[in-house]
Structure 1
Amino acid sequence: MPKLYLEHNKLLELKGNIQTNLELYKSDESWLGQELSVTPSNSAQLKVTDLKKRSADDLDNAIRIYTCYKDLPYTLASDQNYWALLTHIEYWQFMRERWPIEEAQGDPEKFIKTRYFFGQKGMYRNGLSRLWWYVELTYDEAMADPYKYTKLLLEDQDLAGQTIENKYLSRNKVAMRALFEILDYVGKQQKVGAIQILTGKQRRNLVRDAAQYFNLSGVVEMWDILSSKEAQEKLTLWVNAYLKEIGVYISSTTQKIF
């Protein structure tokens, strides 16, 4: 694991001079790497294979960066100084391909603060740390496919952001994984034709309402102290009632999530 760490004074300098350095963010070479005499190596081998759909490799890249930095302590995983150096040097070429400021929508300075540093959403929007946290919050080595939940999370970029940026869900793995079981169940019900295909808005609403349900029920009984059976029973009742309420059932048959 690389030991690179950006000194805080340098971080403040870079973040305070984004407007001045805008043209440097269009450079194919890591200007900060040249300044600090550090050569980028892309040690996790991150890639962008489709410039027309830059998010296409997010799942693969998330697994790659998590594998490379699997033992990263939370003190660094949540530290802007650490990720800012990686975005500016180690993975500069990847960042230029995945998050080119030439295609920034809106204020380019805000775009750079968000993707190359930590913006208002912190580590969950940074171009690299977001990938690591996608896996950290979903990886389960006890499962036949440890990345099952990661794959569910990244099926939809909007849902991925909505999920990990929810403060309650991102801090409670039991609730997070319960949400993935709901999404998995809904997907299976769609495949067998038991419910209508949920639109993007309906899926986003499902995540929002599920998160609200977890929040409210968590006030009464914490999800992290429920047994697996108890969590399954609560989820089965909630999701079937929810799908019935929004009127997507094609038949009256309801099943268990698990």
Structure 2
Amino acid sequence: MTKLYLDHTKLLELKGNIQSNLDLYKSDVSWLGRELNVQSSNSAQVKVTDLKVRSADDLDNAIRIYTYYKDLPYTLASDQNYWTLLTHTEYWQYMRERWPVEEAQGDPIEFIKTRYYFGQKAMYRNGLSRLWWYVELTYDESLEDPYKYTKLLLEDQDLAGQTIENKYLSRNKVAMKALFEMLDYVGKLEQDEIIQNLTAKQRRNLVRDTAQYFNLTGAVEMWDILLPIEAKEKLILWVNTYLKDMGVFVPHLSKN
């Protein structure tokens, strides 16, 4: 793994000059790469195969990034200097395809700060570090498919962001795993037509309300001391009541 680290003085210079460098962010050639003699080598082989749906490869790319940087310590994984250098040099071509400034919604300066540096949501929205954290927070080697929860997370981009950007969930793997077990359980209820298929809005509300439930109960019962099976069972009891209150159980099948 190439070990690169951007000097903090240079980081501040770059971040302070985004406006004057705006045209450089629209170039297919990395100006910082030329300056530092770092090639856009794309070591993890991330890609964008559909320019109309740029998020289509996020799952595959998350696995590629995590596999290549699997031994990355948290000190670097959460460090703006580290990922900023990678977005501006080694993975410049990928960034230009996945996060082109020309298609930024809203302020392009804020867009660059968020995707090429660390914005208000820090490493969870940076164009590269977000991929690493998607897997880090969901990877479970005890499962037959270690990426089972990663796949659940990335089924919905809004859901993915809502989940990993929640400070309580992202810092508590027991709670995070219980959340995905619960979402898997809800998916099976839908598949078996025990409940109606939830809309995207209902699913987002479910995750939001689950996070609130964790927050409200965490101070009292401390989810991180529960066994995974205990956390799962506790959350499924809660979600059954939640779904019943929503009125989504199919009447002739529900025994609730």
TM-score band by shorter chain is over 0.9
- Aligned counterparts, 1:1-258, within 5 A: 1-250=1-250, 251-253=253-255
Q: Which amino acid letter does the alignment assign opposite residue 51 of structure 1?
A: L
Where in structure 2 are there 5+ consecutive unaligned residues? none
In the alignment, the residues of structure 1 paired with residue 141 and residue 236 of structure 2 have an alpha-carbon distance, to the nearest angstrom, of 24
- What's the secondary structure of 2:238's corresponding residue? helix
Q: Which amino acid letter does the alignment assign opposite residue 113 of structure 2?
A: K
- What's the secondary structure of 1:55's corresponding residue? coil
- What's the secondary structure of 1:182's corresponding residue? helix
- 1:27, CA displacement in angstroms? 0.6
- 1:217, CA displacement in angstroms? 1.2
In the alignment, the residues of structure 2 paired with residue 187 and residue 233 of structure 1 have an alpha-carbon distance, to the nearest angstrom, of 16
TM-score when normalising by structure 1: 0.97
Query: Percent of aligned pairs with the same residue?
Result: 80
- 1:230, CA displacement in angstroms? 2.3
- What's the secondary structure of 2:56's corresponding residue? helix
Q: Which amino acid letter does the alignment assign opposite residue 214 of structure 2?
A: F
In the alignment, the residues of structure 2 paired with residue 8 and residue 71 of structure 1 have an alpha-carbon distance, to the nearest angstrom, of 23
TM-score when normalising by structure 2: 0.98
Whether contact under 8 Å (2:174, 2:228) holds in the other structure is no
Deviation readout 1:164-199 (Å, 9 max, x if unpaired): 000000000000111101111111111111111101
Q: Structure 1 segments of 4 or more deviating over 3 A?
A: none
- 1:216, CA displacement in angstroms? 1.1
In the alignment, the residues of structure 2 paired with residue 2 and residue 77 of structure 1 have an alpha-carbon distance, to the nearest angstrom, of 14
